[in-house]
Amino acid sequence: MAPTTFRVGTPDARLRQVLMAEVEARLGWRNDPRDWAVNVTESVDGWVAEIGALHWVRRFGRLERLPWATNPVVAEVLVRLAKIRSGQRVLDPFCGSGTLLVAANRQADDVQVVGSDCAAGSVELARRNVAGLQIQVEVGFAEALPQADRSVHRVVANLPFGKRVGSHRDNQRLYPAALGEIARVLTGDGRAVLLTEDKRLLREAVAGVRGLKIVRERVLRFNGATPTTFVLMPTRRR
């Protein structure tokens, strides 16, 4: 029987080497970053082993992951809160490896799903994950979206928390700028569903952006983290 394959998801090369050696020595697993069955990654409660490259549930298929990729179950919650309808245009301006794009694409027929990310490596990974699906993925910045005014029906995104990706200081600039763009591109009956642990900053940023309001908040709990999902809609007078 072939040994279980794994990878270690951390940008710290020295730590990665130490953990790889420990897992191989203690468990007899084989490190294989290109074809892994277990993703060893860090959470707020310590190190955890995520089973499968998102193929542990058939409907997710086989997707490649980033260490900070959206949990597939969380992705399902977010896209359901978005209430995506047939024929709508859906945007994820922080798409990462594309988990939310795939989840959004399954919500209704004839949806137009677009993803963008400032990291070219993430975009390349997302393109591989959405191969064969009618999903467009491009390199782009959430602070300067290419979409026309009031052209997007739904925005669904896992924002940088400032922990694994970015920082709180970066978010102080990023959140208001991104929210301003989301307010601009959303249709009058549009809806944005945003996930973050930088909750106070998100609330403050929404309060400072003309044209958006928070209509619902929902705390999620997974891997010891407790981010909040914010559902936003356009105000009547923008």
Domain-by-domain residue ranges, the chain? 5-52, 72-234
The stretch 5-13 carries a mean pLDDT of 77
Q: Could you tell me the pLDDT band of residue 203, with boundaries at 50, 70 and 90?
A: very high
Is the Cβ–Cβ distance between 90 and 82 less than 8 Å? yes
* pLDDT at residue 165 in the model: 54
Q: Check residue 110 and give its pLDDT.
A: 92
Q: Which two tokens stand for residue 136?
A: 């467009």
DSSP letter assigned to residue 225: B
- pLDDT bucket at 162, cuts 50 / 70 / 90: low
CATH of 72-234, one of 3.90.1170.50, 3.40.50.150, 3.40.50.80, 3.40.50.2300: 3.40.50.150
- Tell me the per-residue pLDDT of 91-119, one tens digit each, with 9 for 90 and over: 999 999 899 999 999 898 899 999 999 99
Task: Decide if 126 contacts 115 (C-beta within 8 A).
Answer: yes
Strand 135-139 to 228-234 pairing? unpaired
- Per-residue pLDDT reduced to its tens digit, 167-176: 788 899 999 9
pLDDT band at residue 205, thresholds of 50, 70 and 90? very high
pLDDT band at 54; cut points 50, 70, 90: very low
More confident of the two residues 70 and 185: 185
pLDDT digits (tens, 9 = 90+) for 28-39: 999 887 677 787
Candidate from 120-124, 193-197, 212-216 with smallest mean pLDDT? 120-124
CA 22/CA 199 separation, integer angstroms: 36
**Contact (CB, 8 A) for 2 and 9:** no
Q: Torsion over CA of 32, 38, 39 and 43, rounded to 10 degrees?
A: -150
Name the percent of the chain lying above pLDDT 90.
56
Mean of pLDDT values over 40-65: 58
> How much is the pLDDT for 16?
84
pLDDT category of residue 67 using cuts at 50, 70 and 90: low
Rounded to whole angstroms, the Cα distance separating 166 from 159 reads 10
Q: pLDDT higher for 166 or 98?
A: 98
Confidence of residue 51 (pLDDT cuts 50, 70, 90): low
Distance CA 91, CA 115 (A): 6
Q: Are 182 and 125 in contact (CB under 8 A)?
A: no
- The string of pLDDT tens digits covering residues 74-88 is 888 999 999 999 999
- Report CA Rg, the chain: 18
Taking residues 5-30, what's their average pLDDT? Answer: 85
* pLDDT reading at 204 higher than 90: yes
